[in-house]
Amino acid sequence: MARFWAKFAEEKFTKVTRKTLFLDGEKQEKEVMQAIDALEIIEGELKGKKFFGGDTIAYLDIVLGWIAVWIGEVEEVAGIKVFDPLKFPCLDTWMGCFLELPFIKEGLPPRDDLVAYIHKFCQLVLALPAQI
């Protein structure tokens, strides 16, 4: 089941969210709506649990951990809003718990470094021939 959800998250949320960095207008809005739809499904999977694995961190928490670390910065760079803590309270709580894990907390880069990295990544991808 964890592999199913990891694949679902990659195809329905991660890829879609990444695309928003390189689109605008209606195309970007379409991808934002798909990402929100995926988050609604993921939110339902998390209900009643601290982590996707229950009370302890598991494979799916690691796979989806980028959300807790990067989503705000991706939203900022893309000029979008995907994650709403009021709409996704289970994910919001999960993000807080995930970020408080000592081995996660100790390795977090400064927010400004993440934003700069995402900007640089976008510049590099946009300099390549169209591949999106």
Is residue 34 predicted with pLDDT exceeding 60? yes
Is residue 74 predicted with pLDDT exceeding 60? yes
| 8 A C-beta contact, residue 82 and residue 36 | yes
Task: Estimate to the nearest angstrom the gap between the alpha carbon of 81 and the chain centroid.
Answer: 11
Residue that wins the pLDDT comparison between 130 and 124:
124
What are the residue boundaries of the structural domains of the chain, listed by start? 11-127
CA 76/CA 53 separation, integer angstroms: 30
Taking residues 103-131, report their average pLDDT: 89
Taking residues 89-105, report their average pLDDT: 96
pLDDT at res. 126: 82
pLDDT at res. 132: 53
Closest C-alpha among 24, 1, 43 to residue 126: 24
pLDDT at res. 127: 83
What CATH number labels 11-127? 1.20.1050.10
pLDDT band at residue 94, thresholds of 50, 70 and 90?
Answer: very high
pLDDT at res. 130: 63
Task: Kindly state the helix (H) or strand (E) to which residue 52 belongs, with its residue range.
Answer: none
| 8 A C-beta contact, residue 77 and residue 21 | yes
